[in-house]
Structure 1
């Protein structure tokens, strides 16, 4: 950070800009003399819209271009949906701040013709739009009678496809719909017993350069410690399983007194095999809880499931 300026790198999608503007405004309120600029750009994940995410790679699809800006000193921080940020960051970069989490639940959005239905009562063969292998595997496990179809594009584009009749329903993040002012489209919040959410879902992660104390001091006003602890446990769980954002790994975290309780899930792509367990421990040591849960699920067969998935979705050379 040069003097009293801060340069933010962001994706240029509508949701990303809403989130980045929120960060900018919050930092401006906390530091009135700070001059803040935003550099918006398209990432690989934004540009390739005709191929399923799992087929084009699962590490850093929505982050690499933003990280490059920081590494060449063209930006000081990058604002991410934390669920998009890989658990292993490039050398020289760090997760500097985690903001207070919005509702991390998955949400059902239906076509008008199904306004009287919910996920459990949709007619057999109804077409469900999702680009997430995590959602796909869990919903296939619980609702094998439904048909699943990949859907790409930003939230608005996906809703337009739904309203045009290409899908009977969509599964989207409740937090994203809320941030876009579209909470009224949420037809049902999907219970964690059916669909565990993505690691970091609902929180924003602010990435910065390691050792940049001036920037860290500036952004720490946005840190929400309870959210950070939950997300650190979730990210440690994912990192230990060596899973990218495009594998069927889901989580849920909560506090029980002084303990942090982490629930985790690994499923096969067809939903036939679904492993689920939980770990709990001292909330001041969240990563240890995530690591312990990963070891438990590996001992129950998660490693074999993940190896099969990596082989099935690994991009062709």
Structure 2
């Protein structure tokens, strides 16, 4: 494929966050392959519903409309936030590339660090994982369920409705809102969602030429890390509605994986680690998840937040 061919049609959600990260992918792909890329905006169920993500069924609500466009041939490939992807395979769809991961950590946005917020402060998040881990860190907080794009959530702090909100640091970086960040949580404090900070490029599985082209922006280290993280999620049979955190990092050709499940009230957690060669990422994640289940992770996940 060359610049003389028709532009590749990249399907993306229409939010500022989604179009920004999709444009980053489009620019990188064009630079590495010489192929023009144009963005095609798609409205998903998650964009039009006013329900909380967990109430909508968790993973998949931002994904299915984009996959439908792929299968119908209306777009050539799609870019997702990897943490939005269901862990199971999708018929006719290939996960062609996972570009180099951005910072996967969570960030507290507001006027003060977590330790300096007043007793009973109202902190907003739409993630049961963040709810549980916030309660483990500060049991006195009032954790308020919220949804909406980053601007909407940040606006609740500016207006005084909330004292702080927790958002993904990578997303804040992409939309240029790092000035709102009071504290970035280290994984020892708050484990990220599986795949957080990562993007996923999907196309039709029968487009082998396109699968090969998209590999130009694939990052092997990122793919190994997120494979281990998402395997934990798959074995636990959990999604966005479960308080599961995972984080894998590659050091000196060894993959180190940490995962936890926290009770809804934050008082109990199972936190385990494992390591091995990145080529065995799936096995590492599977074995760790089974150890967590042996210790009762399924019971903690079933408790209300």
TM-score between the two structures when normalised by the length of structure 2: 0.95
How far does residue 15 in structure 1 lie from its aligned partner after superposition?
0.3
How far does residue 4 in structure 1 lie from its aligned partner after superposition?
4.6
Total equivalences in the alignment: 303
Alignment partners' CA distance in 2, 1:105 and 1:243: 20
Alignment partners' CA distance in 2, 1:128 and 1:47: 24
8 Å contact kept, 2:33–2:216:
no
Alignment partners' CA distance in 2, 1:171 and 1:204: 20
How far does residue 212 in structure 1 lie from its aligned partner after superposition?
1.8
CA RMSD of aligned residues (A): 1.7
8 Å contact kept, 2:94–2:211:
no
* Residue 178 (structure 2) aligns with: 183
Q: Is residue 81 of structure 2 the alignment partner of residue 81 of structure 1?
A: yes
Alignment partners' CA distance in 2, 1:192 and 1:295: 21
Q: Name the SS of the counterpart of 2:232 in structure 1.
A: helix
Matches within 5 A, 1:98-113: 98-110=98-110
Q: Name the SS of the counterpart of 1:280 in structure 2.
A: strand
- Which consecutive unaligned segments of at least 5 residues does structure 1 have? none
Alignment partners' CA distance in 2, 1:56 and 1:29: 38
* Residue 47 (structure 2) aligns with: 46
* Residue 92 (structure 2) aligns with: 92
Alignment partners' CA distance in 2, 1:92 and 1:137: 36
* Residue 135 (structure 1) aligns with: 130
**Aligned equivalent of 1:279, options 274, 282, 304:** 274
* Residue 15 (structure 1) aligns with: 17
* Residue 304 (structure 1) aligns with: 299
Q: Is residue 230 of structure 2 the alignment partner of residue 235 of structure 1?
A: yes
How far does residue 305 in structure 1 lie from its aligned partner after superposition?
2.1
Out of 250-259 and 149-158, give the one that drifted further: 250-259
How far does residue 55 in structure 1 lie from its aligned partner after superposition?
1.3
**Aligned equivalent of 2:201, options 183, 186, 206:** 206
Alignment partners' CA distance in 1, 2:86 and 2:21: 18
* Residue 167 (structure 2) aligns with: 172
Q: Name the SS of the counterpart of 1:284 in structure 2.
A: helix
* Residue 156 (structure 1) aligns with: 151
* Residue 26 (structure 2) aligns with: 24
* Residue 289 (structure 1) aligns with: 284
Alignment partners' CA distance in 1, 2:103 and 2:11: 25
How far does residue 147 in structure 1 lie from its aligned partner after superposition?
0.5
How far does residue 89 in structure 1 lie from its aligned partner after superposition?
3.2
Q: Name the SS of the counterpart of 1:264 in structure 2.
A: strand
How far does residue 171 in structure 1 lie from its aligned partner after superposition?
0.4
Alignment partners' CA distance in 2, 1:85 and 1:174: 19
How far does residue 273 in structure 1 lie from its aligned partner after superposition?
2.0
Alignment partners' CA distance in 2, 1:299 and 1:26: 43
Q: Is residue 120 of structure 2 the alignment partner of residue 125 of structure 1?
A: yes
Alignment partners' CA distance in 1, 2:49 and 2:74: 25
Alignment partners' CA distance in 1, 2:277 and 2:30: 35
How far does residue 139 in structure 1 lie from its aligned partner after superposition?
0.9
8 Å contact kept, 2:134–2:266:
yes
* Residue 217 (structure 2) aligns with: 222
* Residue 60 (structure 1) aligns with: 60
* Residue 38 (structure 2) aligns with: 37
Alignment partners' CA distance in 2, 1:59 and 1:122: 31
Deviations 1:223-274 (A, max 9, x none): 1111111011111111111111221000111224322110001122222221
TM-score between the two structures when normalised by the length of structure 1: 0.91
8 Å contact kept, 1:109–1:169:
yes
Alignment partners' CA distance in 1, 2:9 and 2:220: 24
